[in-house]
Amino acid sequence: MAFQQRVFSGVQPTGNLHLGNYLGAIVKFVALQQSHDCIYCVVDMHAITVWQDPVELPRATREVTAAFLACGIDPKKHIIFNQSQVAEHAELAWVFNCVARVGWLNRMTQFKEKAGKDRENASVGLYVYPNLMAADILVYRATHVPVGEDQKQHLELSRDIAQKFNNDFSASIAARGFGDAFFPQPEPLIQGPATRVMSLRDGTKKMSKSDPSDYSRINLTDDADAIAQKVRKAKTDPDALPSEAKGLEDRPEAENLVGIYAALKEVPAADVLGEFGGAQFSTFKSALVDLAVAKLGPIGAETKRLMGDPAYIDSVLADGSNRAREIAAQTMSAVKDIIGFIRH
């Protein structure tokens, strides 16, 4: 069956958005608006898999929304909304809790990393997080999902869930005129030189909101001074930059900074090495500061300006939630029929 092409992705309101979120996901959200219908979600229900302060959560939800707008997502042509306002996400997630297998979830590395040694004490929500993520995508029968490399395994699980649902209910799906598949196999879009931006303090660790050191990441709302300080203090090695990609092997910090520069400048990493091969890090870091300030400065300023108008941000979320709900309700009605739930 041919599915209408549709993009879905989400970002958690769990702290400051950083360069990894921006280059790994949001830049792609913006580009895909030209070619697809897009739905971008502030996934507040995912956020509460780890306790969130009820005073901070709405602020963080508005800040992610403001960042989406500041980066250039058009809320009229596309949809921006917060997950908790469309109940069908949770409804479909329950169905998927009954489709996905315990063995599949046991293989999820993100749960292992986030729960750590204290697994018994992790929330059940954190464990079934990937089922909710599958519901987020499939409740819109979305076909393409731009994400960073860290979400690859969860996307594979979403595909497995879609396939098992299609198999488990194949006769019912066909009887209702949906052909041989009700859900598409959503395709991850993980491309470019910055699919996994690493910490500025340790090139083997992902740049992350939860790293205790603010020097490990560049936040989208950092001012020029903060960006300059963080880049200058970023860990490097004593050698000059190589002129070819092979020279970055076993130099994770150098590779990371080159990847960041390439992604911000929207050129291949080879071009960056062509330009800076043989240069010392001090020279390269100065160029990186200029580029990062030029790219991120206007986004940070616009995010802050929008945060001064929470009523406008809330109106964007309300309008987006209404439009998202219409699509999600149609999917959920069909899912209920397919499963055999009586609808009144």
The residues of the shown chain that bind ligand AQP, judged by CB under 6 A, are 11-12, 14, 20-21, 24-25, 147-148, 150-151, 195-197, 206-210
Nearer to ligand AQP, 192 or 277 (CB): 192
User: Which CA distances in Å does 241 have to 251, 253, 292?
Assistant: 10, 11, 19
CA dist 207 and 213 (Å) reads 10
CA dist 214 and 234 (Å) reads 11
- How far does CA 66 lie from the centroid of its chain? 15
Bridge partners of 80, per DSSP, are 40
76 carries an active-site annotation: no
For residue 327, what are the contacts with CB-CB under 8 A and spacing of at least 6? Answer: 39, 139, 140
206 carries an active-site annotation: yes
Nearer to ligand AQP, 149 or 337 (CB): 149
Q: In angstroms, give the least distance from the CB of 339 to ligand AQP.
A: 29
Give all strands of the β-sheet with 37-42 in edge-to-edge order.
Answer: 79-82, 37-42, 6-11, 144-146, 187-189
Nearer to ligand AQP, 17 or 181 (CB): 17
Q: In angstroms, give the least distance from the CB of 151 to ligand AQP.
A: 4
Instruction: Tell me the three state secondary structure of residue 130.
Output: helix
CA dist 10 and 147 (Å) reads 9
CA dist 40 and 8 (Å) reads 6
Q: In angstroms, give the least distance from the CB of 114 to ligand AQP.
A: 7
Q: Which of 152, 164, 209, 304 is catalytic?
A: 209
Q: In angstroms, give the least distance from the CB of 10 to ligand AQP.
A: 6
Nearer to ligand AQP, 88 or 136 (CB): 136
Q: In angstroms, give the least distance from the CB of 319 to ligand AQP.
A: 22
CA dist 94 and 92 (Å) reads 5
Nearer to ligand AQP, 79 or 197 (CB): 197
Q: Find the residue with minimal CB distance to ligand AQP.
A: 24
Q: Which of 206, 230, 285, 295 is catalytic?
A: 206
Polymer length of the chain: 344
Q: In angstroms, give the least distance from the CB of 199 to ligand AQP.
A: 8
Q: For 41, left (φ over 0), alpha (ψ -120 to 50), or beta?
A: beta
Instruction: Tell me the three state secondary structure of residue 305.
Output: helix
265 carries an active-site annotation: no
Nearer to ligand AQP, 207 or 335 (CB): 207
Show which residues are catalytic. Answer: 114, 206, 209
